[in-house]
Amino acid sequence: MVIALGLEHAQRAAKAQNAVTDMTNELLKKNANALHEATVSTAKASERGIVDIETLTQTNAELVKTFDEVLQIQSEGRQKRLQAEADMVRMENELKQKLLEIRK
């Protein structure tokens, strides 16, 4: 009977030891996986840079487009001012001519 109790106790102890070993192995695997994911994520974030090249490319294209539009607007404005100046000179000459006709 003592031997049977000793064997039962030894079997329970072995089962408990196996359960502890299995749990330890599982925790080690989970921790290693979590460490891997965190480390890779951190490495990717640190190597990404402050600004993505796609952002710089889009920003540069938008700035070039802005400059082109501003230059076009300025050119059109310059042409309109020249036309307005020519119209004013023409109107002034017409007015002077009319005044000269009235004096006669």
CA distances from 60 to 54, 66, 71 (A): 10, 10, 17
CA distances from 18 to 5, 23, 28, 34, 35 (A): 20, 8, 15, 24, 25
Per-residue pLDDT of the chain (104 residues; tens, 9 = 90+): 878 777 878 888 889 899 999 999 999 999 999 999 999 999 888 887 778 889 999 999 999 999 999 999 999 999 999 999 999 999 999 999 999 888 87
Write the DSSP string, 4-56. HHHHHHHHHHHHHHHHHHHHHHHHHHHHHHHHHHHHHHHHHHHHH-SS-HHHH
Q: Does the predicted model carry a pTM greater than 0.85? A: no
Looking at residue 52, what is its pLDDT? 85
